[in-house]
């Protein structure tokens, strides 16, 4: 759990954070979004005290973060930045072992843990442990970055635009994989992104910021359905209703027993893709692979 209460940080040039209240419950992911300069990255860096607040309180897993030594505090928080921030002069294994080394783990324990977390992020330790960062693709580097953040098993992770440098084709898959992993491990995650699609797909809640203030903090579907104000509506985009449909799958909608002709879609298909298929085919109902069909009326009713 991450709790910010009345957190304020003023920068000389403006664009700080003003009296921010934000709670990320245990085991959930909160996606911070907003235009550049809105204070989302500052907020993230306040949590591990790379930025010191002028006022307010910060609690992590029930502990007062401001009362702890910042260096010790950071060793207990996973941190992933864009492109992973790997040390180019150390092999993958040594990169992953960084925090265990800082914490003084013995060699055997560290080695076993490095293998474990590399496997968790989908990299075969035997293949990757002795590679250099420059020998990896962007996606692999990002996976190593996540493995490194998980190495000491911190309860809380901070991700700063972690998928920005991954090629767009692989990005969606990597995002889903990483978030599924963090969910399975019951991690509490604060994620910064400038991408609305990424925020609504990955966040259990989305926190929209503007000029250092929290505009709205809500589950993605609720925020897309009811933006708090005109700024929120604009930022979420004119296609926010479509974005929202992308959060639901055919399996979430009511199904007709009747069969209709045409190529069937699996029920894991998002309603957004289903609507797109209806538009493309010019039909009001689609067959579903698992049986029955989805009608336009059922799709609209499921909103």
Partner 1 sequence: MIGWLRSNPDVFLDALVQHLALSVVGLGIGVALALPAALLLARRPVLADWTSGGAGVLRTLPSLAVLAALLPLLGVGFTPSVVALALLALPPVLLHALVGLRGAEPAAVEAARGMGFSPWQSLLQVEVPLALPQIFAGLRTAAVQVVSGAALATFIGGGGLGDLVTQGMALLDTAQLLVGGIAIALLALGTEAGFGWLQRRVTPG
How many CB atoms neighbour CB 207 within 10 A? 26
Minimal distance, residue 198 CB to partner 1, in Å: 20
How many CB atoms neighbour CB 152 within 10 A? 21
**Binding residue for partner 1, selected from 8, 23, 57, 82, defined by CB under 8 A:** 82
Helix 168-184 × helix 138-150 angle, to 10°: 20
Stretch that binds partner 1, among 13-21, 56-64, 86-94, 192-200 (CB under 8 A): 86-94
Minimal distance, residue 249 CB to partner 1, in Å: 36
Q: Taking CB under 8 A as the rule, which mask of x and - marks residues 134-153 in contact with partner 1? A: x----------x--xx----
- When the beta carbons of 74 and 171 are compared against partner 1, the nearer one is 74
Question: Residue with structure tokens 């309860």?
Answer: 155
What distance lies between CA 42 and its chain's CA centroid?
Answer: 17
**Binding residue for partner 1, selected from 75, 111, 131, 213, defined by CB under 8 A:** 75
In sequence order, the 6+-apart residues with CB closer than 8 A to the CB of 184 are none
Subset of 23-62 contacting partner 1 (CB under 8 A): 48, 50
Minimal distance, residue 75 CB to partner 1, in Å: 3
**Binding residue for partner 1, selected from 7, 60, 157, 158, defined by CB under 8 A:** 158
Minimal distance, residue 160 CB to partner 1, in Å: 9
In sequence order, the 6+-apart residues with CB closer than 8 A to the CB of 6 are 19, 20, 21, 55, 56, 57
**Binding residue for partner 1, selected from 12, 13, 88, 282, defined by CB under 8 A:** 88
Q: Where are the alpha helices (DSSP H) in the chain?
A: 40-47, 70-75, 92-96, 98-103, 107-120, 125-128, 138-150, 168-184, 196-202, 220-225, 230-236, 240-245, 271-281, 296-301
Asked whether position 131 contacts partner 1 by CB under 8 A, the answer is: no
- Total residues at interface with partner 1 (CB under 8 A): 27
Asked whether position 81 contacts partner 1 by CB under 8 A, the answer is: yes
Asked whether position 9 contacts partner 1 by CB under 8 A, the answer is: no
Asked whether position 102 contacts partner 1 by CB under 8 A, the answer is: yes
Half-sphere exposure of 217 (CA within 13 A, CB side): 16
Please answer whether residues 5 and 55 qualify as being in contact, where contact means their C-beta atoms are separated by less than 8 angstroms: no
What distance lies between CA 37 and its chain's CA centroid?
Answer: 20
**Binding residue for partner 1, selected from 92, 99, 224, 274, defined by CB under 8 A:** 99
- When the beta carbons of 44 and 250 are compared against partner 1, the nearer one is 44
**Binding residue for partner 1, selected from 112, 132, 290, 297, defined by CB under 8 A:** 132
Helix (H, G, I), strand (E, B) or coil at 63: strand
Which residue, among 47, 52, 96, has the nearest Cα to 73 in the 3D structure?
47
- When the beta carbons of 150 and 265 are compared against partner 1, the nearer one is 150
**Binding residue for partner 1, selected from 79, 128, 163, 235, defined by CB under 8 A:** 79
**Binding residue for partner 1, selected from 16, 39, 56, 84, defined by CB under 8 A:** 84
Which residue, among 272, 269, 277, 205, has the nearest Cα to 245 in the 3D structure?
272
Asked whether position 155 contacts partner 1 by CB under 8 A, the answer is: no
* Footprint on this chain of partner 1 (rule: CB under 8 A): 48, 50, 71-76, 79, 81-89, 98-99, 102, 132, 134, 145, 148-149, 158
């Amino acid at each position: 759990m991450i709790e910010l209460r009345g957190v304020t940080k003023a920068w000389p040039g403006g664009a700080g954070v003003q009296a921010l209240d934000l709670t990320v419950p245990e085991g959930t992911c909160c996606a911070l979004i907003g235009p550049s300069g809105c204070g989302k990255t500052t907020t993230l860096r306040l949590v591990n005290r790379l930025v010191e607040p002028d006022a307010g309180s910060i609690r992590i897993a029930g502990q007062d973060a401001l009362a702890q030594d910042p260096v010790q505090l950071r060793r207990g928080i996973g941190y992933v930045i864009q492109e992973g921030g790997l040390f180019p002069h150390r092999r993958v294994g040594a990169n992953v072992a960084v925090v265990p080394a800082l914490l003084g783990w013995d060699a055997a324990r560290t080695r076993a843990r490095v293998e474990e977390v590399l496997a968790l992020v989908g990299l075969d330790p035997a293949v990757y442990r002795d590679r250099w960062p420059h020998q990896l693709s962007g996606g692999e580097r990002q996976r190593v970055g996540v493995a490194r953040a998980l190495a000491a098993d911190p309860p809380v992770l901070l991700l700063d635009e972690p998928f920005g440098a991954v090629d767009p084709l692989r990005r969606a898959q990597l995002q889903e994989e990483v978030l599924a992993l963090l969910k399975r491990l019951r991690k509490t995650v604060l994620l910064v992104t400038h991408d609305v699609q990424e925020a609504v797909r990955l966040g259990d809640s989305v926190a929209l910021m503007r000029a250092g203030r929290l505009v709205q903090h809500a589950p993605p579907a609720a925020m897309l359905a009811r933006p708090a104000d005109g700024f929120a509506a604009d930022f979420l985009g004119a296609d926010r209703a479509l974005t929202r449909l992308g959060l639901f799958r055919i399996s979430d909608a009511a199904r007709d027993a009747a069969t209709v002709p045409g190529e069937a879609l699996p029920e894991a298909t998002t309603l957004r893709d289903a609507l797109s298929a209806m538009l493309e085919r010019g039909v009001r109902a689609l067959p579903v692979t698992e049986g029955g069909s989805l009608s336009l009326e059922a799709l609209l009713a499921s909103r």
